[in-house]
Amino acid sequence: MSSNWKSFLALFLPCILVLLALESLLRPNPRERNYEAFTEMVYSRAAESLSPSASLPGAMTQQSVAPGVVIRGQLPFHYGPGPEEAQRAGRELLNPYTDEPHVLARGAEIYLRFCTVCHAGDGGGQGPVVKRGMLPPPPLGAARALEIKDGEMFHVLTLGQGNMGSYAAQISAADRWKVIRHVRLLQESVR
């Protein structure tokens, strides 16, 4: 055997022995988990929802939204209730939708589902619940409904007006704008 081989074995064999010794020392029972060196990687600190968590600010799992963040699908509505705010919405907000067929189709669907019960299919205000004693809404073809701008109507649907409640929880902002396009179409037909 050359001297090269000898020195190689002299180096290599002790290394193997040390590794085997370490292995049996750190993992005495092969049925058990390995020795855990960095436990942070093994056990995550993920918090249970709605339970306090020491690793989050204020120990709260549900953090409040950071200032300036807009939640997806929830564009802020910077108007309070009342007629003045409704008029301001009328001046400042524009309907993002035009009378494209898919917009009108969706608007008609929303109107049928949410508005017909009171306003009736033709907007005249004699829907089924009115026939059963509820105060009739003003006709959507009357002067006031014709005059109010889309933004003001959006305010009515978002925050309600008088006897009509808010529809913000049931109808998404996009659908509220689309149903307004349908109301405009109704108004054209009853004029």
Q: Which residues bind ligand HEC (CB under 6 A)?
A: 114-115, 117-119, 135, 137-138, 142, 144-145, 153, 156-157, 161-164, 167, 171, 179, 183
Residues with Cβ within 8 Å of residue 184, at least 6 apart in sequence: 99, 150
Assigned token pair, 106: 């969706």
- Shortest Cβ 64–ligand HEC spacing (Å): 31
- Shortest Cβ 183–ligand HEC spacing (Å): 5
Q: Residue 68 gets which letter from DSSP?
A: T
Q: Which is nearer to ligand HEC, 89 or 115 (CB)?
A: 115
Residues with Cβ within 8 Å of residue 105, at least 6 apart in sequence: none
Please list the residues that pair with 164 across neighbouring strands: 161
- Shortest Cβ 126–ligand HEC spacing (Å): 12
> Which residue number has the CB closest to ligand HEC?
162
- Shortest Cβ 36–ligand HEC spacing (Å): 59
Q: Which is nearer to ligand HEC, 14 or 121 (CB)?
A: 121
The Cβ of residue 4 has, within 10 Å, a number of other Cβ atoms equal to 8
Contact 99, 167 (CB under 8 A): no
